[in-house]
Amino acid sequence: MMKNVLALLAAACGLLWGNAWAQAMPQPPEVAARAYLLLDLTSDQTLAAREADSPVQPASLTKLMTAYLVFDALRLGLLELKQALPVSERAWRQPGSRMFIDTRMKVPVEDLLKGLLVQSGNDAAMALAEGVAGSEERFVQLMNEQAQALGMKATRFVNPTGLSQPGQLSTARDLAILATRLLRDFPDQARFHAIRKYRYEGTPPANDSNRNLLLFRDPSVDGLKTGHTEAAGYCLIATAQREFPHLGPAGAPGVRRLLAVVLGTDSENARATETQKLLNWGYTAFEAVKLFDANQPVLTPAVWKGRSAQVRLGRPLAVVVTVPAGYAGRLRTEAVRPDPLIAPLKKGQASGTLKINIGEHTLSTIPLLALESVEEAGLIGRAWDAFRLWIQ
């Protein structure tokens, strides 16, 4: 009887805390868009979402995948930034937004990337696709293979430009995955997303401004891409980084990066305004708390049958969590690891977990990794530890 009473009390407390936590969570602003998603990339947490998994036409946000494959080709040495690519008639005839290159030109990859990401040039997209894969058809195959590799399970590409075609679909969540991986996999190329003005020599001077109005309105915004078709509406994926106290090494100031995906607004100005609203809310309604520095051990447990008696478990990047403003003091952590922990262990091997909680609510569960390798001990050392484990 007493056990039943205690169980009911525990359930009631859990329900009360769940309701209290739901009330504590900041409510996002009204966003005049078909779908949106706001991520804190510093803590890998979703702050707000609406219709994030609904299929949509991605319009020129498609060009982020085109850029991803070009950046990958540059990394692999298959292309060089200064390498000049021909402009095929197919590229020259692309409708919609263009950088206005023609078949008489050979255009360096670097300029085509600027035309792709600043001017949203469909001609630049096609020239790059043909330069990487030889044909649009083969490039689209690569786009879809890469989408699956990134975990974009609801996405299918039909062309490298984003022009409306049957079957070309994605979601806000998948597009957020793509934008996040672009920033993380190619940090040295992020400068292309932040260029405000560019035009290639011999093309119209009036066609020189980035369509992302937030690059001109908010100095913390440094990318990524706009999109628009009649079917998709006006879309924007924007990222910003702002300095916050205590997020850097040893408690120094550091940067906090947010990513907003806003799809299906009514105008060029609306997509910028609604995205700005979402970014500002994310920065003010939530605070980021650094719990551990990069490579700081969370645990240093004993290791059995190894050449080292202990191993440091932590993360190669700082452990940061995002909480509603004013809730930082309520955080608590719980580290769990296998017992006994037996060698060999490889550097980077998952060897435990860190649960980050507020009350009864788990904000995040993070794998703890071995920060160094622990080789297996010799025969005598292994035998001695086996005996010690047996008598425990």
Active-site position among 43, 63, 290, 351: 63
Query: How many residues would you count in the chain?
Result: 392
Question: Quick check: 115 and 67 in contact, CB under 8 A?
Answer: no
To which residue do tokens 């950088």 refer? 99
Tell me the C-alpha to C-alpha distance, in Å, between residue 105 and each of 120, 133, 145, 210: 19, 19, 31, 23
Q: Is 153 a catalytic residue?
A: no
Quote the tokens at residue 155: 């996405």
Tell me the C-alpha to C-alpha distance, in Å, between residue 69 and each of 162, 164, 270, 289, 366: 15, 21, 30, 34, 30
Query: Within 10 Å of residue 108's Cβ, how many Cβ atoms?
Result: 15
Question: Quick check: 93 and 101 in contact, CB under 8 A?
Answer: no
Strand order in the sheet with 331-336: 313-314, 361-370, 350-358, 331-336
What's the rounded Cα separation, in Å, for the pair 370 and 345?
7
Active-site position among 43, 60, 97, 351: 60
Q: Is 364 a catalytic residue?
A: no
Annotate 220-279 with three-state secondary structure.
Answer: CEEEEEEEEECCCEEEEEEEEEEEECCCCHHHCCEEEEEEEEEEEECCHHHHHHHHHHHH
Active-site position among 43, 97, 120, 351: 120
> What residues are annotated to the active site?
60, 63, 120
